[in-house]
Amino acid sequence: MKFTAKNVAYLALLTAISVIMNTLTLTVPGSGIAVSFTYIPNFLAGYFFGPGAGFIVGVIGDALGCIIWPKGAWLPLLTLSAGLMGAIPGLVRYLPVSRRWHVAISYVAVYVICSAGINTFTLWLAYASTKKTFWVYLLAKMPVSLANMAANLVLNFMLMPLFDRILMPRAKKTTAQPE
C-alpha cells in the first residue's frame, strides 16, 4: 500500500471507527464474554488496503480503545488478536475465489484463530484458569461469540456495497488485486 495522504486519512477513519466500536463493546464482567463490532473496521482495512494496514488499524484501534475506555487489565494477546482480525482478510483476499467467499473465509478464519483461539485462551488465562478447564470455558463462551461473529458477518455483507463505492477505487490503486 502506498502511504498517500488520502490512504492515511482512510486508515485513520477506520482506526477511529475501531476505537469507537471497541469502547462500545458490551462485556459481561469477569466472564470474558463480549459483544463487539470491531470486526468490521478491521476487516475493511485489511480487505481494501492489505494485511499490514489491517493489522495496524486493529492494533491501534484496540490500544486506543483500552486507553480511552478500559474494561480491565490490558492484555497484549488481545491486541495481537485485534491486529490479526485486520490482517487475515487482507491475506484471504489473495485466494482465487469470489468476494463472498473472501468475506466468509475471512470471518471463519478470524473466528477460529482470534475469537475461539487467541481471545478465549487469553481470557481463560486471565480470569478462569483456576476455576475451569479451557475446554469448558470455550464451550461456555462459544454460543455468544458465534452469534457475535454472525451479526458482524451480516452487517459486513450489508455494508460491502457502500464500502465498495468508497474504498474500492482507492484499493485498486494501492494494492495488488487478485484476478
Average pLDDT, the chain: 86
Domain assignment present for residue 22? The answer is yes
Which helix (H) or strand (E) segment holds residue 26: the answer is strand 26-27
The sign one gets for the Cα dihedral 43, 45, 48, 49 is negative
Domain assignment present for residue 144? The answer is yes
CA nearest neighbour of 123 among 112, 109, 111, 137: 137
pLDDT in tens, 11-64: 999 999 999 988 888 877 655 577 888 889 999 999 999 999 999 999 999 999
Can you give the CATH number for the domain in which 58 is found? 1.10.1760.20
Range of the domain at 126: 5-172
Domain assignment present for residue 178? The answer is no
The C-alpha cell that represents 40 in the structure block: 468490521
Domain assignment present for residue 177? The answer is no
Domain assignment present for residue 50? The answer is yes
Query: Does pLDDT of 113 surpass 50?
Result: yes
- Predicted pLDDT at 82: 94
- Predicted pLDDT at 173: 52
pTM, two decimals, is: 0.85
Q: How far apart are CA 91 and CA 89, in angstroms?
A: 5
Q: How far apart are CA 24 and CA 148, in angstroms?
A: 14
DSSP three-state, residue 27: strand
DSSP three-state, residue 34: strand
Query: Does pLDDT of 170 surpass 60?
Result: no
- Average pLDDT of 123-136? 86
Domain assignment present for residue 29? The answer is yes
Query: Does pLDDT of 176 surpass 50?
Result: no
- Predicted pLDDT at 179: 43
Domain assignment present for residue 96? The answer is yes
| Tally of structural domains, the chain | 1
Q: Is 8 left (phi over 0), alpha (psi -120 to 50) or beta?
A: alpha
